[in-house]
C-alpha cells in the first residue's frame, strides 16, 4: 500500500485530492493506494484565497473557467446556476456579479465537492486519513519514503508528498512588523477590521488585485478616512469585460513561435514575441497603432479607470482580449524562453502583462471609481521607502522626494515571487534542508511535465502545486491552471505506482 500525502487543503489541495479519488476508483487501485490530507485551518476546501467572509471579494476569473475538475471547467458555473435557481436568487444579480461571483461562494463550492469526494472515497474503499495540523518539516527516510513532522502531533511517513501550500505571506517589510500600526497581510480580514479605525488615513502597499480587495474590505466596514494605494509603478489592474471577445489568432500562435525556434535554432526572444503581439492587435484593430501613446505611466489613475471601464462595458479592447485569448498558451510560450529572456520580460513589459492578464471585475471597478470621485481613494506611484514615526504612523517617501504620512499601513503587495520571501514554515524548512532549489525568476525548480520537485540531493517523490511554482509556470494565479496541474501530478504519481508494481 502506497500512501500519497497532500499538504494543504485549500483549492489546490482539494483539486488534487478529488482528482486522485477519481483516478484511483477508475483504475481500481483502492487496495494499492491510500491518501492523507493535511490542513491546518478549521475549514477544509477554502484556503486563504476563498476563506474570506467578505461578499465584496469577487473572483477575478469568469465563473465558466473555475470548475474544480480539469476536464469540466464549466462545472462551477453550472453549480452556481443550479444554486441560484433553488434559492430564486437571480432577479437582483447584475450580469457583472453573475460572471464574477464572490470568492466565499467559490469556497463553498470547493468545500462541497471535496465533501462529496470524501464520501466517494469512503464508499469506494479508499483508505483516507485527515490531519488537522501544520506540517513544519519534511525529510527523506529509509525505503525512499518521506517523513513529515507537525506542529502538534506525531510524525507520519508517506511514499509521495504533494505540496499544495496556497498563498504564503510576504516578508518584504519585516522592519515594520514590530509596530502596531502595521498590518503585514490583509488576510484574514479580522486583523484589518481590528486595527484600522474608521477615520484613519490608510496606506496600502501595492496596487494589484490584493490591494483592491483590501480597499473593498475597508469600504465594507464603512471606512471614512482616505485610502492611498502605493507602489513603484502606481498602476491598477485593468477592468475585465463581462464577456471577452473571442479571437482567432493569426500571428502570436504556438505554431508561429515554434517555427521561429526551429528556423533559428534557438529559443525565442521577448522582443520577437512582442512584435507578434503587436501585429495581432493591429490586425484586430485594422490599422497601425502608436504604441508609445498607450503607455500608462504618465496618466492619472482616474483617467485610466474611465478608459478601462468604457472598454470593459464594450466587451474589452484588443489588448485586453488578446491577453485573455493567450491564457491556455501563455505557460507553454513561457517555458520556451531562457531564464535571461524571462527576466527581460519582467523588467520590460511584465507590469503591462500583469494588469491586462489579471484584471479586476467590472463590478469592483465601479466601486473604485466612486471612491476616486469622492477623493477618498488615491493611487500613488514612484514609491521609494517607508519609515516609522513614533506615535504618528508611517512616513512614505517617493523617489521624487515627496513624502506623506499615513495612520495605518497595510502590506497588500501579494504573495512574493521569490521563495526566500515566502513566510511559510515548511517552505523555509525545505529551503534550509536543500530539498528545493530556488528558480532564478521566482518559485522553485520543478519538472513542468509532471509537477515533480527537482531536488538537489536525489530524486525525491515530492510534487508541488500553486504559487510556489510561479517562476516556471507563470499562470499559477489562475485556479483553472492549478486544477490542470493537479490532474498532471495525480496521473504521474499513480502511473509510477502502477509501473513500479508491474516491474517488481
Give the C-alpha separation, 316 to 308, whole Å.
Answer: 8
The pLDDT of residue 62 is: 80
Q: What is the mean pLDDT of residues 141-164?
A: 94
The pLDDT of residue 242 is: 84
- Lowest pLDDT segment from 32-46, 82-96, 184-198, 201-215: 82-96
Q: What is the mean pLDDT of residues 180-188?
A: 91
- Taking alpha carbons only, the member of 260, 252, 372, 237 closest to residue 311 is 237
Q: What is the mean pLDDT of residues 15-28?
A: 98
Which residue would you say has higher pLDDT here, 101 or 410? 410
pLDDT of 140 > 80? The answer is: yes
Is residue 125 within 8 A of residue 30, CB to CB? The reply is: yes
pLDDT of 224 > 70? The answer is: yes
Q: Which residues pair with 377 in a beta bridge?
A: 227
pLDDT in tens, 198-221: 999 999 999 999 999 999 999 999
Q: CB-hemisphere CA count at 13 Å for 144?
A: 9
pLDDT of 257 > 70? The answer is: yes
pLDDT in tens, 303-316: 999 999 999 999 99
Q: What is the mean pLDDT of residues 3-22?
A: 97
* pLDDT bucket at 59, cuts 50 / 70 / 90: confident
| The length of the chain, given as a count of residues | 504
* pLDDT bucket at 318, cuts 50 / 70 / 90: very high
pLDDT of 95 > 60? The answer is: no
Q: Do 2-168+417-488 and 170-237+361-411 have matching folds? A: yes
pLDDT of 96 > 70? The answer is: no
Domain ranges of the chain: 2-168+417-488, 170-237+361-411, 239-358
Q: What is the mean pLDDT of residues 26-30?
A: 96
pLDDT in tens, 341-377: 999 999 999 999 999 999 999 999 999 999 999 999 9
- Domain 170-237+361-411: which topology? FAD/NAD(P)-binding domain (3.50.50)
Give the C-alpha separation, 208 to 355, whole Å.
Answer: 8
Is residue 183 within 8 A of residue 411, CB to CB? The reply is: yes
* pLDDT bucket at 94, cuts 50 / 70 / 90: low
pLDDT in tens, 448-497: 999 999 988 788 999 999 999 999 998 898 899 999 999 999 999 999 99
Q: How does strand 393-398 pair with strand 403-406? A: antiparallel
Which residue would you say has higher pLDDT here, 170 or 282? 282
Name the DSSP letter for residue 292. Answer: G
**Cell representation of residue 161:** 508528498
Q: What is the pTM of this model?
A: 0.93
Which residue would you say has higher pLDDT here, 55 or 79? 79
Helix (H, G, I), strand (E, B) or coil at 153: coil
Q: Would the CA dihedral through 358, 364, 369, 375 be positive or negative?
A: negative
The pLDDT of residue 76 is: 95
Instruction: Specify the CATH number for 2-168+417-488; select among 3.40.109.10, 3.50.50.60, 3.30.1330.10, 3.90.1150.10.
Output: 3.50.50.60
* pLDDT bucket at 143, cuts 50 / 70 / 90: confident
pLDDT in tens, 393-438: 999 999 999 999 999 999 999 889 999 999 999 999 999 999 999 9
pLDDT of 180 > 70? The answer is: yes
**Cell representation of residue 112:** 462541497
Q: Tally helices (H) and strands (E) across the chain.
A: 18, 22
Give the C-alpha separation, 362 to 280, whole Å.
Answer: 25
The pLDDT of residue 98 is: 59
pLDDT in tens, 264-314: 999 999 999 999 999 999 999 999 999 999 999 889 999 999 999 999 999
**Cell representation of residue 1:** 500500500
* R_g (Cα) of the chain, nearest Å: 23
338 C-beta neighbours (distance < 10 Å), count: 13
pLDDT of 55 > 80? The answer is: no
In the block, cell 486595527 appears at 195
The pLDDT of residue 97 is: 55
Give the C-alpha separation, 239 to 58, whole Å.
Answer: 13
Amino acid at each position: 500500500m502506497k500512501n500519497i500525502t497532500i499538504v494543504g487543503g485549500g483549492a489546490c489541495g482539494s483539486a488534487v485530492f478529488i482528482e486522485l479519488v477519481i483516478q484511483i476508483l477508475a483504475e481500481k487501485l483502492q487496495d494499492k493506494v491510500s491518501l492523507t490530507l493535511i490542513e491546518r485551518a478549521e475549514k477544509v476546501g477554502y484556503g486563504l484565497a476563498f476563506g474570506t467572509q467578505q461578499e465584496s471579494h469577487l473572483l477575478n476569473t469568469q465563473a465558466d473557467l473555475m470548475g474544480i475538475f480539469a476536464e469540466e471547467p464549466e462545472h462551477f458555473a453550472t453549480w452556481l446556476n443550479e444554486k441560484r435557481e433553488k434559492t430564486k436568487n437571480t432577479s437582483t444579480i447584475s450580469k457583472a456579479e453573475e460572471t464574477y461571483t464572490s470568492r466565499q461562494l467559490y469556497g463553498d463550492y470547493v468545500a462541497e465537492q471535496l465533501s462529496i469526494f470524501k464520501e466517494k472515497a469512503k464508499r469506494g474503499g479508499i483508505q483516507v486519513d485527515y490531519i488537522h495540523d501544520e506540517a513544519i518539516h519534511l525529510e527523506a527516510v529509509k525505503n525512499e519514503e518521506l517523513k513529515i513532522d507537525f506542529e502538534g502531533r506525531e510524525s507520519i511517513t508517506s511514499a509521495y508528498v504533494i505540496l499544495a501550500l496556497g498563498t504564503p505571506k510576504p516578508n518584504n517589510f519585516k522592519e515594520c512588523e514590530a509596530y502596531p500600526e502595521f498590518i503585514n497581510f490583509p488576510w484574514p480580514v479580522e486583523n484589518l477590521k481590528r486595527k484600522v479605525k474608521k477615520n484613519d488615513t490608510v496606506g496600502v502597499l501595492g496596487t494589484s488585485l490584493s490591494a483592491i480587495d483590501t480597499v473593498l474590505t475597508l469600504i465594507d466596514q464603512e471606512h471614512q478616512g482616505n485610502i492611498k494605494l502605493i507602489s513603484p509603478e502606481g498602476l491598477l489592474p485593468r477592468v475585465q469585460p463581462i464577456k471577452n471577445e473571442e479571437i482567432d489568432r493569426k500571428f502570436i500562435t504556438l505554431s508561429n513561435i515554434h517555427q521561429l525556434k526551429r528556423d533559428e535554432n534557438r529559443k525565442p526572444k521577448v522582443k520577437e514575441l512582442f512584435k507578434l503581439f503587436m501585429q495581432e492587435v493591429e490586425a484586430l484593430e485594422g490599422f497601425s497603432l502608436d504604441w508609445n501613446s498607450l503607455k500608462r505611466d504618465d496618466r492619472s489613475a482616474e483617467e485610466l479607470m474611465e478608459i478601462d471601464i468604457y472598454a470593459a462595458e464594450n466587451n474589452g479592447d484588443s489588448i485586453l482580449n488578446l491577453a485573455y485569448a493567450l491564457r491556455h498558451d501563455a505557460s507553454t510560450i513561457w517555458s520556451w524562453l531562457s531564464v535571461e529572456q524571462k527576466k527581460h520580460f519582467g523588467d520590460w513589459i511584465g507590469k503591462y502583462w500583469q494588469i491586462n492578464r489579471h484584471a479586476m471585475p467590472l463590478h469592483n471597478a465601479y466601486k473604485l471609481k466612486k471612491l476616486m470621485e469622492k477623493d477618498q481613494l488615491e493611487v500613488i506611484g514612484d514609491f521609494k521607502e517607508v519609515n516609522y514615526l513614533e506615535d504618528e504612523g508611517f512616513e512614505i517617501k517617493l523617489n521624487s522626494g515627496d513624502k506623506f504620512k499615513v495612520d495605518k499601513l497595510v502590506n497588500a503587495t501579494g504573495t512574493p515571487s521569490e521563495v526566500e520571501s515566502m513566510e511559510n514554515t515548511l517552505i523555509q524548512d525545505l529551503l534550509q534542508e536543500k530539498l528545493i532549489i530556488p528558480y532564478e525568476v521566482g518559485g522553485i525548480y520543478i519538472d513542468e511535465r509532471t509537477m515533480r520537485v527537482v531536488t538537489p540531493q536525489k530524486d525525491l517523490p515530492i510534487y508541488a502545486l500553486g504559487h510556489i511554482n510561479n517562476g516556471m509556470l507563470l499562470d499559477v494565479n489562475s485556479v483553472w491552471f492549478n486544477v490542470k496541474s493537479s490532474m498532471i501530478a495525480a496521473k504521474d504519481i499513480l502511473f509510477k505506482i502502477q509501473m513500479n508494481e508491474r516491474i517488481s
